[in-house]
């Protein structure tokens, strides 16, 4: 079977084309799907595994989080992204990535080698999303670390860009000392109001359920509001 390289236009003969092939002439890495053939690029990683805690802490501190964290597990992987012609961002090609776009990393651009990644036991995530436009596109595999940390006995997963150190992932609900103090003042105010109600009605059988119900409602509303001020 003949394949024309989109990089150098040379004709390559392949017997059974895989998803990833290499041009015999310009050595480009190529990806083949039902929409055609595209050159595949990657970036040289800069971030090292022992630096992950630093990058996570730096990102968390942007919104006031200053608790101690410890990386439980980390593993390198490659996320696929599309770059559509004329676009200055990369569009995700894998639905497992927590976000629609990322900026184009400023690192050194290199041809992606799928076989070498597998030999190094680096997970290469499959493509399951196509760009929202039919324009000319290029495929990029960006190196990331999948990082697990435990906070308040719960496990949270983040993805750290191995080129820029940018952190992506689900938020960690966090209550700062200031938020907790405001919640305490709110409960004290409700308690004083209920004491006034008790002095008026002088019926504990009515006041106690009313007190518990009111506190439960206020706590739920306050908790929801505080969780919106989450730490990423």
Is 210 a domain residue?
Answer: yes
Residues 73 and 157 in one domain: yes
Task: Report the pLDDT value the prediction gives residue 4, as an integer from 0 to 100.
Answer: 84
Region of 86 on the Ramachandran plot (φ > 0 left; ψ -120 to 50 alpha; else beta): left
pLDDT of 200 over the 70 cut: no
Q: What percent of the chain has pLDDT over 90?
A: 34
Phi, psi dihedrals of residue 145, rounded to the nearest 5°: -115, 130
Is residue 133 scored above 70 in pLDDT? no
149 and 192, same domain (yes or no): no
Confidence of residue 202 (pLDDT cuts 50, 70, 90): low
Q: Which of 139, 126, 110, 113 is nearest to 21 (CA)?
A: 113
78 and 140 co-located in one domain: yes
Q: Answer yes or no: is pLDDT of 193 > 80.
A: no
Whether residue 206 sits in one domain with residue 132: no
Contact between residue 230 and residue 174 where contact means Cβ atoms under 8 Å apart:
yes
Most confident of 160-169, 187-196, 204-213: 160-169
At 177, is the pLDDT very low, low, confident or very high (cuts 50, 70, 90)? very low
Q: Identify whether residues 88 and 126 lie together within a single domain.
A: yes
With 50 as the cut, is the pLDDT of residue 229 above it?
Answer: no
Between 227 and 122, where is the model more confident?
122
Q: Per-residue pLDDT averaged across 26-40, rounded?
A: 83
Q: Provide the pLDDT confidence category of residue 107 given band limits of 50, 70 and 90.
A: confident
Instruction: Report residue 231's pLDDT band, with 50, 70 and 90 as the boundaries.
Output: very low
Last residue of a domain, one of 169, 196, 215: 169
Could you tell me if 53 and 161 lie in one domain? Answer: yes
pTM of the model: 0.73
Give the tens place of pLDDT for each residue, 141-171. 999 999 999 887 888 899 999 999 999 987 7
- Which of these ranges, 28-37, 112-121, 149-158, 213-222, has the smallest mean pLDDT? 213-222
* pLDDT at residue 187 tops 90: no
36 domain residue, yes or no: no
**Bridge partners, residue 36, by sequence:** 33
Q: Distance between CA atoms of 88 and 43, rounded to whole angstroms?
A: 16
Asked whether the predicted pLDDT for residue 18 surpasses 80, the reply is: no
Same domain for 106 and 212, yes or no, is no
Quote the DSSP letter at residue 91: E
Inside any domain, residue 34: no
First to last CA, the chain: 49
> Is residue 24 in a domain?
no
Provide the 3-class DSSP secondary structure of residue 178.
helix
What is the residue range of 62's domain? Answer: 41-169
SS3 181: helix
Number of domains composing the chain: 2
Question: Residue-wise over 105-143: b if at least 16 C-beta within 10 A, else e?
Answer: bebeeebbbbeebeeeeeebbebebebeeeeebbbbbbb
Q: Above 50 in pLDDT, residue 185?
A: yes
The pLDDT confidence band at residue 36, using thresholds 50, 70 and 90, is: confident
Is 154 found in the same domain as 97?
yes
């Amino acid at each position: 079977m003949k394949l024309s390289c989109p990089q150098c236009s040379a004709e390559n003969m392949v017997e059974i084309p895989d998803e990833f092939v290499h041009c015999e002439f310009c050595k480009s890495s190529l990806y083949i799907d039902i929409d055609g053939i595209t050159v595949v690029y990657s970036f040289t990683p800069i971030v090292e595994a022992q630096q992950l805690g630093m990058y996570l802490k730096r990102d968390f501190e942007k919104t006031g989080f200053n608790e101690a964290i410890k990386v439980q597990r980390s593993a390198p992987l490659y996320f696929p992204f599309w770059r559509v012609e004329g676009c200055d961002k990369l569009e995700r090609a894998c639905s497992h990535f927590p976000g629609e776009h990322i900026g184009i990393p400023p690192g050194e651009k290199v041809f992606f080698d799928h076989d070498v990644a597998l030999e190094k036991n680096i997970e290469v995530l499959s493509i399951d999303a196509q760009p929202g436009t039919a324009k000319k596109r290029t495929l990029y595999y960006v190196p990331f670390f999948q990082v697990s940390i435990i906070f308040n006995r719960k496990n949270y997963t983040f993805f750290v860009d191995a080129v820029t150190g940018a952190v992506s992932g689900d938020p960690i609900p966090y209550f700062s000392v200031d938020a907790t103090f405001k919640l305490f003042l709110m409960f004290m105010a409700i308690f004083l109001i209920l004491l006034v109600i008790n002095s008026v009605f002088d019926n504990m059988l009515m006041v106690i359920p009313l007190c518990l119900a009111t506190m439960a409602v206020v706590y739920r509303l306050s908790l929801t509001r505080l969780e919106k001020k989450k730490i990423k």
